[in-house]
A and B are shown apart, each in its own frame.
Chain A
Amino acid sequence: MLNEKTLELLMSSFPKILEYGLKVTLPLAALAFILSTVIAVLVAMVQYADVPVIKEICRLYIWIIRGTPLLVQLMVAFYGLPLLGIHSNPFVMAVIVFSINEGAYSAETMRAAMEAVPAGQLEAGYCVGMNYMQIMWHIILPQAFRTAFPSLFNALISMVKDTSLASSITVVEMFTRTKQLAGQSYNYLPLYIEVALVYLIFCTVLTFIQKKGEKILGSYGQRK
C-alpha cells in the first residue's frame, strides 16, 4: 500500500492539510474557546451570585445546549439564522455555535470551581472592606480559574477535533480539505491517517501548552 505514489501524495498533501489546519481549524477552535470561556465565567458568576431571573435563564441555556447535539445546533443555526434575517459567513457562524455550545459545559466547570473556593475567602474579603466585585476579581475568580484550568483545557482539546463538524455547514476546514484531496486522488485511507496525525500533533502541542500554563498559573506555594 505504501508505494512511491502514495508517499508522494502524502508529501504533497501535507502542506495543504496543514495550511487549512493553521488557517481555519486552529483559529476556529481558539476564537470559540476564548468566547466560550467568557460566556462560562459570566454564566457561572450569575449562578454563584444567585441573581434572580437571570439565573433561571442561565439554567435554561445550559439545559438546552447540553441536551442537544452539536451537529444539530450547527444545522439549526445554519438554516435558522438566515430566516431571522441574520446572514453571516459559515466560519463566523461556526465560531458562534461552538462558543455557545462549549460555554454551557464550561459554565458548569467554572461554577463548580467557584463553589470550591472556601466561603471564608469571601468573608475575609468583606472584612478588609472589599466589595463583591473586587473580591470576585482578586480572590474568587483567580482561585477558581486555577482549579478549572485543566478541565477548560480539556474542552479546548476536544473542540480542536470537533471543529471537523463545521464541514457540515460548508466551512472548509482541515478535515473537509482532506476529504477534497482524498476525492481527487481516490486514495482515501492514507490521507485520513495523515489528517489524524495532524490533529494528534495539534493536540500534543496543546497538552504541552497546558502543562506550561499550569506552571505559570502556579499553585500558590503548594507542590512547588
Chain B
Amino acid sequence: MALLQVKDIKKTFGDNEVLKGVSIEVNKGDVVSVLGPSGSGKTTLLRCINFLEKADGGRFVFDGREYDLSDISKKDIAAIRKKTGFVFQNYNLFANKTVIQNVTLGLTSARKIPSKEAENIAIDVLTKVGMEEFRDYYPSQLSGGQQQRVAIARALATKPEILYFDEPTSALDPQLTAEVLEVMRKLASEGMTMIVVTHEMGFAKDVSSHVIFMADGNIVEEGPAKEFFTAPKQARTKEFLRLTEN
C-alpha cells in the first residue's frame, strides 16, 4: 500500500492556476524526483502536501488515512507534520538557535522529549550529516552547504516517515551542492522515503527510483527513473531533457 497518495490536487494563486489536478503516489522507500521548468508548480505541490499552502481541492492519503486537502483540521495537519520532514531551498534554520538547538527544538518543545535524550538524538543525526563539530555554532557562522546539512539533520531528528526536499541545492555553488547531495544519497541508500523537487538531473538519474516531470501545473510524464531518462515518451519531456543535458 502506498505511504502517501495525492489525488487531483488543485491550487490557484489569484487567477494563476498553479496546480491543475495533480495526482501522485509514493511507496515506502521510494525516492521521487520532481522535475520541471520554473513555474511548473512543483514547489507548490510540495508546499501544499505539507500544508504550507492551502490547496483549493484534492484528496490526500497518508499512513492509511484519507483527508480532504481543502478542508483538513489543524489537528490533523499537526499530526501529519509530526511524521514528515521538510527541507527548504534557503534552509530556514532558526537564526536565534545554535546548530544543536535547531535540531533539538522540535523534539523538546513539540514532542516533549527530555533534553538529554533529545541531545543524544541530535548528536546522532548531526554526525550522520557530518556537522557534529559545529554543534555550538549559529547558522550565520556556517556556509550554505553546512546550513543545509544541519537543516537535513533537523528534519531527520524527528524520525519522519517521509522527507520533502524543496530545491535543496538551488542556493548553493557546485561544491556545496555536492556535499548536500552526498548526504541525500546516503539517506536514499538507507531506505528513507523522499520527495525531492530538484534541478539536479544527475541526482534524479542516479539516486531516485521514480521521476515526475511537471509543466504548467500538470504532470507531463512520470515513471521509473531509468525509463524516464532513457526512453522518454512525451515530446515535452524529450525537449526538457535535451535542454538540460549539458
Whether A123 touches B88, Cβ cut-off 8 Å, given contacts A129-B78, A129-B81, A220-B95, is: yes
Contact, CB under 8 Å: B139 / A124: no
Chain A hits for B158, CB < 8 A: 128-129
Chain B hits for A124, CB < 8 A: 86, 88, 92-94, 151
A:140-157 near B, CB below 8 Å: 142-143, 146
CA of A126 to CA of B77, assembled, Å: 10
> Is B209 part of the binding interface, using a Cβ–Cβ cutoff of 8 Å?
no
A:115-174 near B, CB below 8 Å: 118, 120-121, 123-131, 134, 138-139, 142-143, 146
Chain A hits for B110, CB < 8 A: 128-131, 134
B:76-93 near A, CB below 8 Å: 78, 81-82, 84-86, 88, 90, 92-93
Instruction: Say how far A222's CB is from chain B's closest CB, in angstroms.
Output: 5
Chain B hits for A130, CB < 8 A: 105-106, 109-110
> Is A221 part of the binding interface, using a Cβ–Cβ cutoff of 8 Å?
yes
Size class of the contact patch on chain B: 20 to 34
- How many A-B residue pairs lie within 8 Å, measured between CB atoms? 73
CA of A142 to CA of B105, assembled, Å: 14
Instruction: Say how far B228's CB is from chain A's closest CB, in angstroms.
Output: 28
> Is B62 part of the binding interface, using a Cβ–Cβ cutoff of 8 Å?
no
Contact, CB under 8 Å: B96 / A139: yes
Contact, CB under 8 Å: A138 / B92: no
Q: Mark A26-56, 1 if CB is under 8 A from B, else 0.
A: 0000000000000000000000000000000
Contact, CB under 8 Å: A143 / B88: no
Instruction: Say how far B13's CB is from chain A's closest CB, in angstroms.
Output: 16
Chain B hits for A131, CB < 8 A: 78, 110
CA of A138 to CA of B98, assembled, Å: 12
The dominant DSSP class at the A interface is helix
Contact, CB under 8 Å: B96 / A143: yes
Chain A hits for B52, CB < 8 A: 123, 126-127
Contact, CB under 8 Å: A220 / B140: yes
CA of A221 to CA of B138, assembled, Å: 5
CA of A30 to CA of B84, assembled, Å: 46
Chain B hits for A221, CB < 8 A: 137-141
B interface residues with partner A (beta carbon < 8 Å)? 50-52, 78, 81-82, 84-86, 88, 90, 92-97, 105-106, 109-111, 137-141, 151, 154-155, 158
11 A-B pairs (CB sep. < 8 Å): A121-B94, A124-B88, A126-B81, A127-B155, A128-B105, A129-B111, A130-B109, A131-B78, A138-B109, A221-B138, A221-B141
A sample of 4 more A-B contacts (CB under 8 A), given A127-B50, A130-B109, A221-B137, is A127-B86, A127-B155, A129-B81, A138-B105
Which 3 pairs, one residue from A and one from B, show the smallest C-beta to C-beta distance? A128-B106, A221-B138, A127-B86
